[in-house]
Amino acid sequence: MPGIRSAADDEAVPFDPFELKDVVSGKIRDPYPKLRELLRESPVHTGRIDLGEGGEIGDPTTPAPVTVFGFDEVVSVLRDNETYSSSVYEDVMGMVMGRTILQMDEPEHRSIRALVASSFRSKMLERWEEDLVALVVNELIDSFSDRGRSDLVRDVTFNFPVQVIARILGLPRADYPRFQRWALEVTSVAANWERGMAASAALRDYFVDVMAERRAAPGDDLISDLVRAEVDGKHLSDEEICSFLRLLLPAGVETTYRASGSLLLALLRDRAQFDALHADRSLYPQAFEEVLRWEPPVTVILRRATRDTELAGVAIEEGADIALMIGAANRDERKYADPDRYDMFRTQRQHVGFGFGVHVCLGMHLARMESRVAINTLFDRLGPFTLDPEAEPPHIEGLAFRSPLSLPVVFGAR
Ligand code: HEM
């Protein structure tokens, strides 16, 4: 992209990745009372919606925007991917990411997803668990384990998913700092368009070179998998691989870091649940799924109506943009008892934190595995850590993306 530079082009610029940590989140602390009020009025609303504290949903420039709050209604939309198209993401993300599976409809989506999916099956991920994810987390913990205190967001959760992706892609270690910078700049494109677009172009050039290397000398990494992938005689083009790899940055980094932070905060605030998981790690799957219900890192996803239709008695016009409020649906009191409580022992565990239907999160097994390794390693290395009584109590904030921005803890039992 002529004339525009990513700051990462100049490696002399000192860079603290943490500077960019909250640029995409917004500041709302607790949108849930307002979301509940709106859901009680109706599970589906039309027009612009004011969430208070400066938060708004429904782009007034598009025809008749619709917002869906109810669990069953969100699932109905995601199930009917002919009436509700994902092409809406073209406008938002297409220019930055290129054409990705997120914005494709069937049958194109099915054929491209089939080509990338095999690397993300849980069985395939086992190869990365010990040598790669555990290694990243242990290295991060090494940098503060003798201090007796830490901000776990700054020291661990914010950093590990991007390093895991870099390793999964088999990138050379020396490239990690600029890769992390590009990743953050692309993810925060809404805050700085030119910088995000420049990083997107830089990533493309970088990945084109790596792909050429992997074609010549394949390895045990995701880029080698993607250049080799074949379904029914079809391969991915370089452009398709580049777009997919760029999508992994916002899709896989921003989300996993936030989910891990919210899980840690939920546990640190409730000693009985912390101790239960510390003592019995087989509870991890339910502890993690419950955090995705209670505080999904991505609280809203989008669709566009392909024809005039109707949902819960509300008319929807062809072309209308539809915001699906995952955060509200996951706390729908028609489905969950005491929905505002984080409770890993609840019996109703179904949620839409990973979406639903044909576009359900491709990286969900990776996200589960990464967070499990991070939490287990923290438990094993730090012992039963607690919130730092001398620090400001942390809280979760954000609108489209939510999580704690700090997690000050003390440890020292061992
Ligand atoms: C806790 C962590 C994560 C959460 C909460 C999450 C959430 C989501 C959601 C809600 C969607 C559906 C979007 C839609 O239908 O509009 C999605 C799709 C997707 N996610 Fe994740 N995600 C997480 C981690 C990851 C990871 C680690 C990766 C890969 C490295 C990943 C890759 C993807 C991809 C490629 C899609 C698009 C799938 C498609 O369109 O067919 N995600 N994710």
Atom of ligand 1 nearest to the CA of 368: 1
For ligand 1, is residue 113 a contact (CB within 6 Å)? yes
CA of 256 to the centre of ligand 1 (A): 10
What letters, b where the CB count within 10 A reaches 16 and e where it falls short, cover 249-272?
bbbbbbbbbbbbbbbbbbbbeeee
For ligand 1, is residue 255 a contact (CB within 6 Å)? yes
CA nearest ligand 1 atom 21, residue: 361
Q: Bridge-partner residues for 410, per DSSP?
A: 149, 386
Q: Please name the helix (run of DSSP H) or strand (run of DSSP E) that holds residue 50, with its range, or none.
A: strand 49-52
Q: What own/partner pairs with CB < 8 Å and gap ≥ 24 does 42-49 have? A: 42/69, 42/312, 42/314, 43/68, 43/69, 43/70, 43/72, 43/73, 43/312, 43/332, 44/68, 44/69, 44/70, 44/73, 44/311, 44/312, 44/313, 44/314, 45/69, 45/314, 46/314, 46/316
Above 90 in pLDDT, residue 413? no
Strands 66-68 and 321-325: parallel
For ligand 1, is residue 103 a contact (CB within 6 Å)? no
For ligand 1, is residue 112 a contact (CB within 6 Å)? no
Above 70 in pLDDT, residue 343? yes
Above 80 in pLDDT, residue 57? no
For ligand 1, is residue 102 a contact (CB within 6 Å)? yes
Q: What are phi and psi of 403, to 5 degrees?
A: 175, 170
Atom of ligand 1 nearest to the CA of 78: 15
CA distance 160 to 137: 6
What pTM was computed for the model?
0.92
Q: Which two tokens stand for residue 368?
A: 């589960």
Residue 387: Cβ within 10 Å count = 16
CA nearest ligand 1 atom 20, residue: 361
CA distance 150 to 82: 48
For ligand 1, is residue 93 a contact (CB within 6 Å)? no
Residues 135-182 have pLDDT tens digits of: 999 999 999 999 999 999 999 999 889 889 998 899 988 888 888 888
CA of 361 to the centre of ligand 1 (A): 4
CA of 359 to the centre of ligand 1 (A): 8
Query: Where residue 23 falls among pLDDT bands split at 50, 70, 90?
Result: very low
Atom of ligand 1 nearest to the CA of 89: 16
List for the chain the helix, strand, coil content (%; round to 5).
Answer: 50, 10, 35
Residues 366-387 have pLDDT tens digits of: 999 999 999 999 999 998 899 9
For ligand 1, is residue 401 a contact (CB within 6 Å)? no
Residue 108: Cβ within 10 Å count = 12
Q: What pLDDT, on the 0 to 100 scale, is given for residue 21?
A: 47
CA of 214 to the centre of ligand 1 (A): 25
Residues 98-148 have pLDDT tens digits of: 899 999 999 999 999 998 998 888 777 888 887 789 999 999 999 999 999
CA of 320 to the centre of ligand 1 (A): 23
Above 80 in pLDDT, residue 52? no
